[in-house]
Amino acid sequence: MHIETTGSGPSLVLLHGWALHGGVFAPLVQRLSSRYTLHLVDLPGHGHSRDSDVALSLDATVDAVLARTPPAAWLAWSLGGLFALEAAARSSQMRGLAMIAATPRFVRADDWPHAVEAHVFAQFGDDLRNDYAGTLERFLALDTMGSEHARSELRSLKRDLYARGEPTPSALQAGLRLLEQSDLRANLPAIRVPSVWIAGRRDLLVPAKAMRAASALTPGGRYVEIAGGGHAPFLGHADLVVDALEAFLPELEAAA
């Protein structure tokens, strides 16, 4: 598995979302690398980990990341949040958790109304088999829809999408299954590290209300909402995301 390390200071592990790679975090790298050592993970089947033999499953991926990174805070976006929540619930290596537009359950249920319908991810899986490139572009559009900076964010995601090669179809399907089937709400009360949940108020994939609810279920969870943000607020609202991180991460260092 490819993990790029850059910067200096306390360690921060970054996990990207579906179909992308660690390079998508460039706006955060630019702003944080002078103060933090950033470990940018390419999830299995994505980016420079396209040929990794690690399975894109919660257990295998988390084990591989933990084996390759030092004790650190973890920052996770979207799909990456599932791996971070799994790690937070069972590893003493994690020092803190920053969730960006990520939730323990991505699909709607009677007791979890603030999510998308399950058929959304199933349909993307069907579409991938018929129109790989078009399906990825439609998903990127959904990532940015609603944001007040949607056009510039979409341009950035399209530029990044194939910058490290195409993600493998099998990894994309595995990621969609994780998004559709995972429910890690039971993990939240077991999380014993500080956490911050950064939501975009205009996010159409992970509604802000879901992140507020998740933060309330997590001991010591802190909730931050970016008014104009969509599903990728670290692109169009990078300074606001960094403000939230800089109000959170130094507390971890003080407690260490």
Number of neighbouring beta carbons within 10 Å of residue 116: 18
C-alpha–C-alpha distance, residues 148 and 165, integer Å: 29
Q: The pTM is what?
A: 0.96
**Phi and psi (nearest 5°) for 77?**
-115, 130
Contact 256, 101 (CB under 8 A): no
In this prediction, residue 216 carries a pLDDT of 97
Average confidence (pLDDT) per 10 residues, the chain, 256 residues: 97 97 98 97 98 97 97 98 95 94 97 93 91 93 93 94 95 96 96 96 96 96 97 97 95 68
- Domains of the chain and CATH, by start: 3-255 (3.40.50.1820)
Contact 236, 229 (CB under 8 A): yes
Q: What is the pLDDT of residues 84-124, one digit of tens each?
A: 999 998 889 999 999 999 999 999 999 999 999 988 888 99
Nearest Cα to Cα of residue 237 among 150, 117, 131, 178: 150
Residues involved in catalysis: 78, 203, 231
Burial (CB count within 10 angstroms: exposed 0-12, middle 13-18, buried 19+), residue 114 = middle
